[in-house]
Amino acid sequence: MVAGTQSPTATAAAAAILVAVALTSLSPAAANDESKALLAFRNGFEDPRGILDWVPNMVDPCTWVRVECNDDNRVTQLELAGNNFEGPIPPEYGNLTSLVAMDLFNNKLSGPIPSTIGNLKLLVFLRIDHNRLSGPIPAELAALLALAEADFSNNDLCGTIPTGGAFQNFPAKSFDNNPRLIRPGMEGTDADGSSC
């Protein structure tokens, strides 16, 4: 071999290393966006039992307790049920675009359901019942066509239940015990949500 030239194997190896470095450098950015979304929740609520040990300087949320990820290290599941967490659901959760399941059942979460949850096009399972959530169910959630199961019961939601998309298939019990929530077609329907 002539001095100063590389074999095809060496060139291919060098190219593979460059690709690996490039892919690795993309992964933390995505993980960092997801960690920011999760930390917005962690920083905005009370954790009386000290369940979550999410550490801000740990960039990869896939290593955090009660967070599950896919093979691409994207957050796919949040299992945060039954922990007496207090505080709002942050709008940043709408940035978890690979999320398939969000289970926030049986806490003391309060405030509105963020309309940004409508960005979660892969969401199949949403359980936010038995909390202290208030305000209307955002119309943006009707665009979640993959949503197969949702439970909004036992909160203080108000206004009219959305009628499009997956909401056509949810049983009435998914909305029970929200005294100010109006089912479409009921007498006294308040389509503009002014009952909120």
pLDDT of residue 9: 43
Bridge pairing between strands 67-69 and 75-79: antiparallel
User: How many independent structural domains does the chain possess?
Assistant: 1
Q: Is residue 64 part of a domain?
A: yes
- Does residue 37 form part of some domain? yes
- For 15-26, the pLDDT digits (tens) are 333 333 333 333
Q: In this predicted model, what pLDDT tens digit does every residue of 98-127 receive, in sequence order?
A: 999 999 999 999 999 999 999 999 999 999
> How far is 26 from 38, CA to CA, in rounded Å?
19
Answer whether residue 33 is part of any domain.
yes
Identify the pLDDT of residue 18.
32
**Residue-by-residue DSSP string for 37-78:** HHHHHHHTSB-TT------TT---GGGSTTEEE-TTS-EEEE
Beta strands at 180-182 and 156-160: parallel, antiparallel or unpaired: parallel
125: helix, strand or coil: strand
pLDDT of residue 55: 66
| 11 inside domain | no
Question: Positive or negative, the Cα torsion across 184, 185, 191, 195?
Answer: negative
Task: Judge whether 105 lies within some domain.
Answer: yes
Asked whether residue 99 is assigned to any structural domain, the reply reads: yes
Confirm if 48 and 21 have CB atoms less than 8 A apart: no
Position 3 in a domain? no
Low-confidence ranges of the chain (pLDDT < 70): 1-31, 55-59, 186-195
Q: Which CATH number belongs to the domain containing residue 82 in this structure? A: 3.80.10.10
Range of the domain at 49: 18-182
pTM exceeding 0.85: no
Residues 6+ apart with CB under 8 A from 80: 66, 103, 104, 107
- Inside any domain, residue 77: yes
